[in-house]
Structure 1
Amino acid sequence: MGKHLHVDNARSIARYCPRFKNLIVWEWMEFTISSARFVDDDSDSETEEEETSAGDFLMALRRNTLERFEISRDSHFKPSMVQGLVAHSQSMRVLKLPKFRSELVVELLKSNPLQSLEAVHFFLGYEKRAEIAQPFGQWLGACQNLRRIETWLYHDELLMLANALQHPIPSLEVLIVQQNYEDDPRIIDAFYRGVSRQRNLQELTLNTEMTSNKSVFMWCLFHLKKLRKLNLRRVSSQLTLPDIGTLTSNFPDLTWLGLCVTPVVDEIWDYIVAPKLRYLHLVGIGVLHAQPVLDFIHRLGEQNRGFTLKLKFSTFAELYTTVSDEDHRAIAYALFSHLDGRLLPYREML
């Protein structure tokens, strides 16, 4: 808890736990109480509290020893936290920061890019500050050892990422955009072109709008030959069946695929071409029949052993599935008997 982030505690950690590397904070306040003296006598003395900025806790640890720093989504902090992070600029590998407001970004931009940084997760930032998104993206893109970038409802994230991905980041393997409402086609196209430059990507999750022209979207993904996991959220609802067939056949090593299919058509099973696929999640609106699914399962082979299928189809509300209990049992049995696989509950989220 943030209330325990006292400078005295940090000094004790630095002294007695020299290998301390990971810090996960469930509740962060800008000020934490470092000590309190309670006077219990007849005088009019009041309780005295000595306060120190929370950033001082990070600076009081052994410098350049902290490797992982996470804060829960309900926490709040101010620029002093950034100053504390900079004290570990040569060791920091993982950052997970909620509500990383524009003033914090400005403070971070005063420091050099973190060359030790391997994974970042920015989420829950609602300000639109395009003038900051560009330099922040360039700063992030200069962290040349990044392996994972994840965002969720974060500021101008597509504009920021378009700048971060302007040049190849050879180490980048995972890019996840969980939720985004950007509707400027120029920014969306620039983001996808940036994605196309990341030729070493192995995992890609996109919950964005479609590019100005679908051919731009397809062209950008075709460059990512090393993809093993592809989760196309709402953007895939605009793909035709031939598009899906062309796309899936382009990734010979694909083992995980998530698609949103609207409307649901039984023919989709003929267009999912991925010889090494081990996990498939389809979400859509419409009626799903069991027989095409069973035919698909029986076309799979030994390379698909352990196959996991997750289906979520509804006619109106997500609470009601159009896959009958009987069909569920038939599909689940076919998966288990043919591939030692399983069918996950349809109500689980994508």
Structure 2
Amino acid sequence: MTFALAGDVLYIILDILGDEKDYNSLFQCAISSRCFTEHSLAVLYKLCDTSPVRGGGTEDEQFRSRRVATTWGSTKGEQDPAIRKWALLWRSIVLSTLDQTYLPYYSYIRYLDLDDFADLLRDPGFTGEVKEDFFTPELLNFVSHDYQAKGNKRLRSSRLVPDNDWVMVTIGTAIVQKTMSIRGMSCNVRPETLSAWIEDLPLLQSLTIWSGDALSQHAGDKLRNHCPAFKHLTIYGWKNNPPRTAEADCEQFLNELRPNTLEYFEILSYSQLGPRSIKSIGSHLNSLAELKLTSLTIESIAELPSLTAAPALNVLVLTDSIPAARDENFYAVVRRVAEWMCSCRSLRRLELRRFVDDSFLLSQVLADEGIHLTTLSLAGYAMVDGRAFHEALACQQTLQNLYLRGEASEFMQGNELLVQAISQLNNLRELELKDISDCFTTDHVIAMTPYLPHLERLWISGDFFDDGALNTFLCLPKLQSLAIHAFSRFTADGILGFISQLGPGNRGFNLTILNAVDSSLTEEAQNVIRDTLKVSLDGSFDYGLAQEEYSDTDSDEMYE
């Protein structure tokens, strides 16, 4: 007996596949039946900015690893499948703006990632047949600087493919002018181009740009008049562009926006914003939920307290300030900034890295009874300077995520104080101790872990760990990921014995040993451990020797 599912039920199923980012199932649905096709493809193209063929996912990671092949010929052969998919994705979007596809794929896009398209054009694999298949005559004529017209037809120009920036802007313009559905966009374009695009993006909510200079031609006014829902801005860098300054441009832009509409403001890399820029953030004080700034001077930092209590501020990230003399004025500024942070009662996530004297700042903030953080990250401090900070850390018993990175100390008193502080944070779900715990012994771990019953993820270094250290992690019933960066010597029997004692709460467990001091754990033994973890807990195992010298970047990427 057969029956037909109601259309709305089919749509619910396809939307669930979209939520799970199950690209393959969505594609199979699209080609299996005409009644599935349109909605399946609509969901797929809504996810085009997250697809494995463009920005991430297992397929992309495998593709990246294959690109280290030793010969050009083998590399090219292995690159083509992923690059070809990537190119076809964008080609179908572009052709749809020319009404040359089965469905209007452009109309399904919600986040337009033109940075990704620019990456495709620059990719070494985007050559030969892949490039020729992308730039077919109709598309090449469309992006060409000059072309011949005959009647209502565009004839193929003899010109070669134009430069990448021109192609990206031409295609970006075509998509923006064709669709009204875009909620978010990432791009690297000139100010006049961005201002023109904004006028055609009535639903725009978020914008990511490479340079704040792109906002210099009254982009704030454009957003105010044409994008009533705009609230999220990310900028990679903002430098002076003489005769204009980043300070003046930022002040103008933030003041042009409708007051109290910006909810997210982030500068990722080097910037030259000054006190006036900081003060202008105050025009969005009642709406701003996340503020992330970098490269501030002490004069700019001194302006932060002028923002007064930010009622909505939930996330604050401050990094890599311009060095300043640590004199009386410096510490007066730090104290005022600490008072300002304490006035932000909604603050839940605080991240600092080489901002001011961070451990001194936090020693004042964390002890305040009105601050209840769930996430704290501190990088670039020294254990010997952290006593007051570690004492205050114990006050933040609401913490669920703690990430510390700094210079370790051989003095036992400092290590014991940090262990005592962490032992009082009984709600922790994630704990990263990078470098700062290099002098931890097994005894330190034994003293700490029984008080962390909810811990799901742990990254820890140490003086030296062996099989005996593994048993100290068995009192963590919910642990999902354990990364040991200490110098270590584990045996296969010790690791397998540890695995055998893990419980159902550890399902999906990943064990990573990154700094083993010898190669006594053979490849065969490693495979046995991997198979055992996979079968018993659906887990995984990674192993690296100390002489492989895993970089900080590698370790960070693995656990971000």
TM-score > 0.5, shorter chain as reference: yes
Match of 1:303 among 496, 505, 512: 505
Residues 169 and 198, structure 1, Cα contact 8 Å, conserved in 2: no
Which residue matches 1:21? 231
Which residue matches 1:217? 418
The alpha-carbon distance between structure 1 residues 212 and 81, as it changes in their structure 2 partners (threshold 3 A), is: farther
Residues 151 and 176, structure 1, Cα contact 8 Å, conserved in 2: yes
SS at match of 1:206: strand
Higher helix residue share: 2
1:137-174 CA deviation, whole Å, 9 max, x = no partner?
22112211111011122221111111111213454100
Residues 485 and 515, structure 2, Cα contact 8 Å, conserved in 1: yes
Q: Which amino acid aligns with 1:343?
A: F
User: Distance in 2 between the 1:334 and 1:307 partners?
Assistant: 11
TM-score normalised per structure 2: 0.55
User: Distance in 2 between the 1:83 and 1:25 partners?
Assistant: 18
The alpha-carbon distance between structure 1 residues 89 and 7, as it changes in their structure 2 partners (threshold 3 A), is: farther
Which residue matches 2:338? 137
The 10-residue stretch of structure 1 (271-280 or 336-345) with the greater mean CA deviation from structure 2: 336-345
Which residue matches 1:349? 555
User: Distance in 2 between the 1:21 and 1:321 partners?
Assistant: 53
Match of 2:445 among 244, 247, 253: 244
User: Distance in 2 between the 1:28 and 1:113 partners?
Assistant: 26
Which residue matches 1:233? 434
User: Distance in 1 between the 2:405 and 2:287 partners?
Assistant: 32
Number of residues of Structure 1 aligned to a counterpart in Structure 2 = 328
Equivalent runs, 1:67-82 vs 2, <5 Å: 67-82=263-278
User: Distance in 1 between the 2:290 and 2:520 partners?
Assistant: 42
SS at match of 1:194: helix
User: Distance in 2 between the 1:292 and 1:120 partners?
Assistant: 43
Match of 1:200 among 388, 395, 398: 398
Q: Which amino acid aligns with 1:107?
A: E
1:249-274 CA deviation, whole Å, 9 max, x = no partner?
11111111111022232211111121
RMSD: 2.5
The alpha-carbon distance between structure 1 residues 139 and 170, as it changes in their structure 2 partners (threshold 3 A), is: closer
Residues 314 and 348, structure 2, Cα contact 8 Å, conserved in 1: yes
1:225-253 CA deviation, whole Å, 9 max, x = no partner?
11111112223333332321231111111
Higher strand residue share: 1
User: Distance in 1 between the 2:219 and 2:520 partners?
Assistant: 56
Residues 58 and 87, structure 1, Cα contact 8 Å, conserved in 2: yes
Identity of matched residues, %: 25
User: Distance in 2 between the 1:226 and 1:244 partners?
Assistant: 17
Relative CO higher for 1 or 2, CA cutoff 8 Å, sep ≥ 6?
1
Q: Does 1:157 align with 2:353?
A: no
User: Distance in 1 between the 2:370 and 2:454 partners?
Assistant: 21
How far did residue 89 of structure 1 move?
Answer: 0.8
Q: Does 1:327 align with 2:529?
A: no
1:262-312 CA deviation, whole Å, 9 max, x = no partner?
223221111112111111110022433222111111111211111112220
The alpha-carbon distance between structure 1 residues 310 and 168, as it changes in their structure 2 partners (threshold 3 A), is: farther
Match of 1:112 among 292, 299, 308: 308
Residues 237 and 261, structure 1, Cα contact 8 Å, conserved in 2: yes
User: Distance in 2 between the 1:108 and 1:100 partners?
Assistant: 10
Equivalent runs, 1:17-56 vs 2, <5 Å: 17-30=227-240, 52-56=248-252
User: Distance in 1 between the 2:280 and 2:239 partners?
Assistant: 14
Which residue matches 1:259? 460
SS at match of 2:524: helix
Which residue matches 2:515? 313
The 10-residue stretch of structure 1 (53-62 or 161-170) with the greater mean CA deviation from structure 2: 161-170
Unmatched segments (≥5 aa) in structure 1: 35-50
User: Distance in 2 between the 1:161 and 1:264 partners?
Assistant: 31
User: Distance in 2 between the 1:344 and 1:75 partners?
Assistant: 38
User: Distance in 2 between the 1:142 and 1:322 partners?
Assistant: 55
Unmatched segments (≥5 aa) in structure 2: 1-210, 545-549
How far did residue 73 of structure 1 move?
Answer: 1.6
SS at match of 2:239: coil
How far did residue 321 of structure 1 move?
Answer: 7.2
User: Distance in 2 between the 1:63 and 1:104 partners?
Assistant: 21
Which residue matches 2:110? none
Which residue matches 1:175? 376
How far did residue 26 of structure 1 move?
Answer: 1.7
Q: Which amino acid aligns with 2:525?
A: D
Residues 384 and 414, structure 2, Cα contact 8 Å, conserved in 1: no
Which residue matches 2:470? 269
Which residue matches 1:48? none
TM-score normalised per structure 1: 0.86
SS at match of 2:254: helix
The alpha-carbon distance between structure 1 residues 223 and 263, as it changes in their structure 2 partners (threshold 3 A), is: closer
User: Distance in 2 between the 1:144 and 1:11 partners?
Assistant: 32
The 10-residue stretch of structure 1 (127-136 or 291-300) with the greater mean CA deviation from structure 2: 127-136
The alpha-carbon distance between structure 1 residues 270 and 314, as it changes in their structure 2 partners (threshold 3 A), is: closer
The alpha-carbon distance between structure 1 residues 21 and 323, as it changes in their structure 2 partners (threshold 3 A), is: farther
Q: Does 1:57 align with 2:253?
A: yes
SS at match of 2:320: strand
Which residue matches 2:215? 5
User: Distance in 2 between the 1:141 and 1:193 partners?
Assistant: 17
SS at match of 1:343: strand
Residues 256 and 277, structure 1, Cα contact 8 Å, conserved in 2: yes
Residues 506 and 537, structure 2, Cα contact 8 Å, conserved in 1: yes
User: Distance in 2 between the 1:303 and 1:329 partners?
Assistant: 23
User: Distance in 2 between the 1:89 and 1:68 partners?
Assistant: 11
Equivalent runs, 1:87-102 vs 2, <5 Å: 87-102=283-298
